Amino acid sequence: MVPSNRDQRWPNYEKRKAGLLVLLFTHAAYAIGATGAEASGFIAIPLVKTYNLKEPDFDPPNSLFVNGGALYGESQPDTSKLLHALNLDIEWDDYGYLATIQIGTPPRDFKLLVDSGSADLWVPGEGCQAGDGSGDCGNHTLLGPTFSSSFRHSGEFWMVKYGSGPVAGHIVSDHVTVAGLTLKSHRFALALRESKHYTLNRTLYDGIMGLARTVGWNHNLPSLVESLHGAGLIKRPIVSYRIPRAADGRSDGELAFGGMNPAKYKAASVVTLKNIGPIRFWEARMDSIVINGITLRIGRRSAILDSGTTFILGPRKDVALLHTAIPGSRFSDGLWYIPCHTEVVLSLSFGGRAFPIQPRDLRATPLNKDDPNAECKSRIGEMRGRGGSQWIVGDVFLKNVYFSTNLEKNEISLAELA
């Protein structure tokens, strides 16, 4: 998720009313192309964990495709190994990707949304409340002194605001185990107020694992990969993503720490890109967009590669140009529609290599449930509130490639999947 970049203040706990207002506006930003958010003067980085694309009869997602594959380092951590990996579970229809880590003494499982677009790790704390006063933080695993004897509270305030709303609490420390590697007294955040989105029982993750660069974020919390590297548990501060697709029905999703997993990508296809984002993000120069072999004239563009964003979001002009090149596309009421059975081949080019997106990844829900073969909402949408040359490239693209970030070199690698 790419947090809002304008208003970083959050209502403290006393100013609950103001908080509610903010929450309402942020939720407006859920809908791709929604207007209210812009008018409010509040950021509209349209979203991210998009449960509600203006769909009144939308079934709430509550299915989880559990990745059962046996992987590295689960039971016998061997720190001489280069790679230590976690399975990635799929939230609903590829809306998000979840990894399970252990926190506390005794260690308990926490399911976290894997987010290369933010930097903080947080889990809900004992006493956590919904920011709108509607109740507790739902059916999620909580952390606190009752559950963990190694839990330590710093009392320091913490807050981050995502497209789907703010989360606030305190900075704490506890033992954290990732793919069998244990960090003693890792510093992270404990959420005590969450926007409604995160408290829902149907939200299948407890908290968020931010894997962006930590420079430029407010609280200077070390990311998991920084701590693992600093503690000598991984040799290189690299995180690699094999983002899976629910429709494939395979357990091939993986989040690897320490390197790239040679079993998951074609070695000859790797392109390595300089991170051009000055702070915060994994951002690469995007050479071009190619549709059915034709290169669109969009000029100099960059892409924030964000596993925590479901869709692909771009400047309005680019998004319009792109859809216009898709046969049968249509724009209506702020949204783009494409034929559900489009066979269009759309590629994003990085480092001189075009990476195609499977046509089925481009479509979201059918417009008309009674005619699911007709028009579908596009999974490429307009973004507001950021410069006209920046894209946020989420899972719609990332599940078509192998994606890796290297903190030490400040580089991003992309490769074709094996």
Ligand X SMILES: *[C@@H]1O[C@H](CO)[C@@H](O)[C@H](O)[C@H]1NC(C)=O
Residue 123 in contact with residue 207, Cβ under 8 Å? Answer: yes
Q: How many residues bind ligand X (CB under 6 A)?
A: 3
Q: Which of residues 230-269 bind ligand X (CB under 6 A)?
A: none
Residue carrying the six token digits 């203006």 = 54
Among candidate residues 86, 255, 104, the one with its CA nearest the CA of residue 188: 104
Task: Quote the least distance from Cβ 60 to ligand X, whole Å.
Answer: 11
Shortest separation between residue 118's beta carbon and ligand X, angstroms: 23
Residue 138 vs 381, nearer CB to ligand X:
138
Name the minimum Å distance from CB 138 to ligand X.
Answer: 5
Q: Which is nearer to ligand X, 138 or 144 (CB)?
A: 138
Please say which residue, 197 or 363, places its beta carbon nearer to ligand X. Answer: 197
Answer for the pair 304, 2: CB distance below 8 angstroms, yes or no: yes
Residues contacting 416, CB < 8 A, separation 6+: 265, 266, 269, 355, 401, 402
Q: What Rg value do the Cα atoms of the chain yield, rounded? A: 20
- Residue with smaller CB distance to ligand X, 186 or 193: 193
Instruction: Give the nearest distance from C-beta 194 to ligand X in angstroms.
Output: 14
Q: Taking the complex as a whole, how short is the minimal distance between the CB of residue 97 and ligand X, in angstroms?
A: 17
Q: Which is nearer to ligand X, 110 or 350 (CB)?
A: 110
By the rule CB under 6 A, 292 interacts with ligand X:
no
* Closest distance to ligand X from the beta carbon of 201 (Å): 4
Cα–Cα distance for residue pair 38/208, rounded to 1 Å: 26
- Report the residue number, 38 or 132, with the smaller CB distance to ligand X: 132
- 386, amino acid identity: R
Distance, CA of 384 to CA of 314 (rounded, Å):
8
Q: Give the contact letters, 116-155, x = binds to ligand X (CB under 6 A), - = no.
A: ----------------------xx----------------
- For the bound state, the minimum distance from the C-beta of residue 121 to ligand X, rounded and expressed in Å, comes to 20
Nearest to 307 by CA among 47, 46, 117: 117
Q: At its nearest, how many Å lie between ligand X and the CB of residue 190?
A: 20
* Alpha helices by DSSP H, 217-280: 224-230
Asked if 161 and 10 touch (Cβ cutoff 8 Å), the reply is yes
In the complex, minimum distance from the CB of residue 125 to ligand X, in angstroms, rounded to a whole number = 17
Amino acid at 302: S
- Pick between residue 105 and residue 139 the one whose CB is nearest to ligand X: 139
Question: How far is Cα 200 from Cα 49, in angstroms, rounded to an integer?
Answer: 13
For residue 246, give the nearest of 373, 118, 370, 98 by alpha carbon: 98
**Given the complex with ligand X, which of 138 and 166 has the nearer CB atom?**
138
CB-based closest residue to ligand X: 139
Q: Where are the alpha helices (DSSP H) in 217-373?
A: 224-230, 316-324
- The pattern of x and - marking residues 167 through 206 that bind ligand X according to CB under 6 A reads ----------------------------------x-----
CA 328 to CA 330: how far, in whole Å?
7
Which of 92/355 has CB closer to ligand X?
A: 92
**Chain residues that interact with ligand X, rule: CB under 6 A:** 138-139, 201
